[in-house]
Amino acid sequence: MQKILILDFGGQYNQLIARRVRECNVYCEVKPWTTPLAELRAFGPVGIIFTGGPQSVYLEDSPRVDPDIFTWGVPILGICYGCQLMAHLLGGKVTPAQDDSAREYGKTLTYYDTSCQLFRNLPAEGVSWMSHGDYMAKVPDGFSLTARSDACPNVAIADEARGFYGVQFHPEVSHTQHGVDMIRSFLYEVCRAKGDWTMGDYKKTAIARLREKIGTGKVLLALSGGVDSSVAAALLAEAVGNRLTCVFVDHGLMRLNEGDEVEKAFSRWDLNLVRVDAEARFLLKLAGVDEPERKRKIIGEEFIRVFEEEAKKIGAVDFLAQGTIYPDVIESGAGEAAVIKSHHNVGGLPDFVDFREIVEPLRMLFKDEVRQLGRELGLPEYLVNRQPFPGPGLAIRIIGDVTKEKADTLRQADFIFREEMARAGEDKKLNQYFAVLTNTLSVGVMGDGRTYDHTLALRAVTTSDFMTADWARIPYELLDKVSTRIVNEVKGINRIVYDITSKPPSTIEWE
């Protein structure tokens, strides 16, 4: 299987690069720039991509790679910081931009030399996404300028004889027109990739690795019924069969009827399914807690306590399996990355876990890849396309303290929202939508009486990767129908608002 090595220098879009490469059916792995050179070479890449990064290549403590990497005869694409690093290491000169005009951020009209392999068969100009404050004052010998902007003459450079390319913009983000085509050209025309990696191949590889890792051990998995845990369950069932026990913790914070639906959906699989009714237990732990990170930590720890108890009932359990995926890892922070919010299956676990090891078979996959893997495993489409649902459930869609009354109110309102979206066919156009019970009370009038009840927020987004998202333009008529039904049918809500912020600056979930 051909491999692309993505060398990570700490940029904000680095996981997107991996996703774009995989979309082109080429296998890749992201490795930190600190990885020993011998290990990078042993990986056997047919191509290498240097990612962006926040630092300046001319600083003494900036991340860099041994220049020996340029002698391997392997094509290299440098993106933003990666482009400047390539120039710096090969004899060019990178300096701070001398004036504001040479600093470029955001959408920028860019002019391409279409004789360059990277831009061949593409329009001669288009919008690219820039994010750089440094400037290549001198490009290395053997390189030619292959793209420019009105402010910068060296937006892209290339030494096509050696297969070295550098771009100061970000082709991996959707804002760059034809950016994926540029990446595809590098993969297929420069690296001569064959496109020999698919979710079917990943399934076979993952099952083999799980069998090797787990051996004769027993595995315990938290099955929420969401896409991630369901696909993880199916993958593990294929690998270890009935040595997998799936514990469905019904914490009383699921969506309407979801507990019964989960149990029914997995009745056909050859695995041990244990449903634990823990509603009273979780609500007691959450009583009076209104800070979202504390909710997450409490729920994460209580999940583990439940798992430990169930493990003791079924005997020795060696591995705790989780449906962690890439966006979970990114948002929970890694190394020097900022922690946006912890996820219960990444940063919210207690320090002590009564298992030998944690297994995360989906850790390197994005949501769309997880869904495709689910199809490869034979999961039903209604489960594969299920709306994302956070591990802490409705606890983080209830702003403020959590009570059974609030959870029941939100459950009913959320069900109406989802039901009307499905009836209108909007559910197929959106990637995630849900209701949030805010802690804002407002005055209303129902009949001839005054009310003082909760404000409910509706949230719907479109996204390709869940790392960025745009708020969905739902038809007003549909919003009107949803609002009317909720106010009339759900006690305790007298006002509906619609969230029209994108990610960033907001996250998809409110907490």
- pLDDT tens per residue across span 2-24: 999 999 998 878 888 988 999 99
What is residue 314's predicted lDDT score, i.e. its pLDDT?
A: 77
What is residue 330's predicted lDDT score, i.e. its pLDDT?
A: 56
pLDDT, greater one: 479 or 221: 479
Q: Tell me the fold of 3-190.
A: Rossmann fold (3.40.50)
Q: Write out the catalytic residue numbers.
A: 80, 170, 172
* Of 58-72, 94-108, 131-145, 397-411, the least confident: 94-108
Report, as an integer, the average pLDDT of 368-392.
Answer: 86
pLDDT higher than threshold 90 for residue 474: yes
Q: What percent of the chain has pLDDT over 90?
A: 61
pLDDT, greater one: 487 or 341: 487
- For the beta sheet containing 357-359, the strands, ordered from the edge strand earlier in sequence to the opposite edge, are 272-277, 244-250, 219-222, 319-321, 357-359
Enter the tokens of residue 458.
């509706």
Report, as an integer, the average pLDDT of 72-95.
Answer: 94
Q: Are 311 and 317 in contact (CB under 8 A)?
A: yes
Enter the tokens of residue 152.
């910068």
Report, as an integer, the average pLDDT of 297-301.
Answer: 90
Calpha distance 234→219 (Å, rounded): 13
Report, as an integer, the average pLDDT of 112-132.
Answer: 91
Angle (nearest 5°) at CA 389 between 26 and 334: 55
Q: If you search the block for the tokens 């005009």, which residue do you land on?
A: 101
What is residue 170's predicted lDDT score, i.e. its pLDDT?
A: 93
Calpha distance 94→457 (Å, rounded): 49
What is residue 165's predicted lDDT score, i.e. its pLDDT?
A: 97
What is residue 101's predicted lDDT score, i.e. its pLDDT?
A: 52
pLDDT, greater one: 279 or 329: 279
Calpha distance 254→260 (Å, rounded): 10
pLDDT higher than threshold 90 for residue 354: no
Calpha distance 414→492 (Å, rounded): 14
What is residue 346's predicted lDDT score, i.e. its pLDDT?
A: 40
- The CATH code of domain 403-498 reads 3.30.300.10
What confidence category does residue 364 fall into, taking pLDDT thresholds of 50, 70 and 90? confident
Calpha distance 394→401 (Å, rounded): 11
pLDDT higher than threshold 50 for residue 378: yes
pLDDT higher than threshold 90 for residue 76: yes
Calpha distance 238→157 (Å, rounded): 47
Q: Tell me the fold of 199-384.
A: Rossmann fold (3.40.50)
What is residue 73's predicted lDDT score, i.e. its pLDDT?
A: 96
pLDDT higher than threshold 60 for residue 363: yes
What is residue 103's predicted lDDT score, i.e. its pLDDT?
A: 54
* Of 12-26, 52-66, 339-353, 384-398, the least confident: 339-353
Enter the tokens of residue 190.
């420069």
What confidence category does residue 333 fall into, taking pLDDT thresholds of 50, 70 and 90? very low
SS3 511: coil
pLDDT higher than threshold 80 for residue 403: yes
What is residue 285's predicted lDDT score, i.e. its pLDDT?
A: 96
Report, as an integer, the average pLDDT of 90-119.
Answer: 82
What confidence category does residue 48 fall into, taking pLDDT thresholds of 50, 70 and 90? very high
Cβ neighbours of residue 148 under 8 Å, at least 6 residues apart?
A: 110, 111, 154, 155
pLDDT higher than threshold 60 for residue 78: yes
Residue 444 burial (CB count, 10 A): 15
What is residue 357's predicted lDDT score, i.e. its pLDDT?
A: 85
SS3 191: coil
What confidence category does residue 332 fall into, taking pLDDT thresholds of 50, 70 and 90? low
Domain ranges of the chain: 3-190, 199-384, 403-498
Calpha distance 209→228 (Å, rounded): 18
412-443 per-position pLDDT tens digit: 999 999 999 999 999 889 989 999 999 999 99
pLDDT higher than threshold 70 for residue 338: no
Q: If you search the block for the tokens 């034809």, which residue do you land on?
A: 178
pLDDT higher than threshold 90 for residue 300: no
Report, as an integer, the average pLDDT of 451-469.
Answer: 90
What confidence category does residue 351 fall into, taking pLDDT thresholds of 50, 70 and 90? very low
What is residue 222's predicted lDDT score, i.e. its pLDDT?
A: 82
Strand partners, 156: 147, 167
Cα-flanking dihedrals φ and ψ of residue 335, to 5°?
60, -120
Topology match between the domains 199-384 and 403-498: no
Calpha distance 353→109 (Å, rounded): 52
